[in-house]
Amino acid sequence: MQRGAVQKWMFIVLSLGPAYGGYLLFTLYPNILSVYYSLLQWDGMSEPRFVGLDNFITMLGDKYVWRALGHNLLLMATIPPLVVLISIVLAYLLVYKNYKGSSVLKVLFFFPNVLSTVVIALLWTFVYDGQFGLLNGLLEAIGLKIGHFYWLGEEKTAIWALIPPAVWGGVGFYIVIFINAMSSIPKSLYEAAILEGATHSARMFKITVPLIMPVVRVGVLFLMLGTLKGMEQVLILTNGGPSGSTDVIALYMFNLAFGMEYHNYGYASAVGMFLFVILVSAKLLLDKFMPNRGVEY
């Protein structure tokens, strides 16, 4: 083998080896083990006992799994569309409206993405606080007297209270993504549309959105998958309460494996396999109903 080819392969191994090694060790290998664990009855300490598909049969009759799935689907039906719509509108305004101080606005919009998920969740616990919360204060300032209402402590409002933190924390990142996508659209298309008398809304939904659809599709995919498998904000804001009204599948699986009451790694792994099937199904549905290619110009 020539010296140049040897150096090429050495560079590939040294540059990609650590990343692939980490992926195999910390992602792929644990996932493969989860498939095996899902066939066991095991608490992590005692001798594991092979039970075959019993965990999956039990899961089909577990009402808490289906309740958690319902909450996941509700969040998936609200958070990704809101994040994408708000991000597209704000990105369009920043690119084509030429506001003074638009660079400052970009920084302000992106600021929540600098914060960790834990910090965002803790901030919103203060917003929703019944006694000193910002939300109750604003409602009282406009004349709505609701007293010391705890938004995260009521079953009817807790699940809906999870949506604003997720939207607020996700919009800034996708604004930056959509701004970069919009910057590649030829200005001549908008000039022709202006001559035809098209309004800003018509230009945005007839020109901008179709042309950046591949980017939008990727954004929707990441948001859907993140909403389905995410649990950090739910854990901090409500921990699945009150009375399980905000429980999601990932949090339910976490509590089964590491909770105070249960240490059922086998059943938790079976729930994880169920979540994996849901994620794959969501990806296939997105491929079917959302175009993979944008409009060409």
Q: What is the pLDDT of residue 1?
A: 53
Helices (H), the chain: 3-23, 29-37, 54-60, 63-96, 102-114, 117-127, 134-141, 155-161, 163-182, 187-195, 200-203, 209-211, 213-229, 232-237, 249-258, 265-289
Residue whose token pair is 């191994």? 13
The mean of the pLDDT values for the chain is 88
Question: Distance (Å, rounded) from C-alpha 254 to C-alpha 21?
Answer: 26
In order, the DSSP letters of 74-93 are HHHHHHHHHHHHHHHHHHHH
Give per-residue pLDDT as tens, 10-47: 888 888 888 888 888 888 898 888 899 999 998 878 88
Question: Distance (Å, rounded) from C-alpha 113 to C-alpha 169?
Answer: 6
Q: What is the pLDDT of residue 152?
A: 93
Question: Distance (Å, rounded) from C-alpha 55 to C-alpha 190?
Answer: 58
List the chain pLDDT tens, one digit each, 297 residues. Answer: 567 777 788 888 888 888 888 888 888 898 888 899 999 998 878 888 999 899 999 999 999 999 999 999 999 999 999 999 999 999 998 888 777 777 788 888 888 888 888 899 999 999 999 888 889 999 888 888 888 889 999 999 999 999 999 999 999 999 999 999 998 888 888 888 888 888 888 888 888 988 999 899 999 999 998 998 889 899 999 999 898 999 999 999 999 988 777 788 899 999 999 999 998 898 888 888 776 665 555
Give per-residue pLDDT as tens, 213-246: 989 999 999 999 899 888 989 999 999 989 899 9
The pair of three-digit structure tokens given for residue 256, joined into one six-digit string: 């089964």
Short-list 221, 275, 270, CA closest to 248: 275
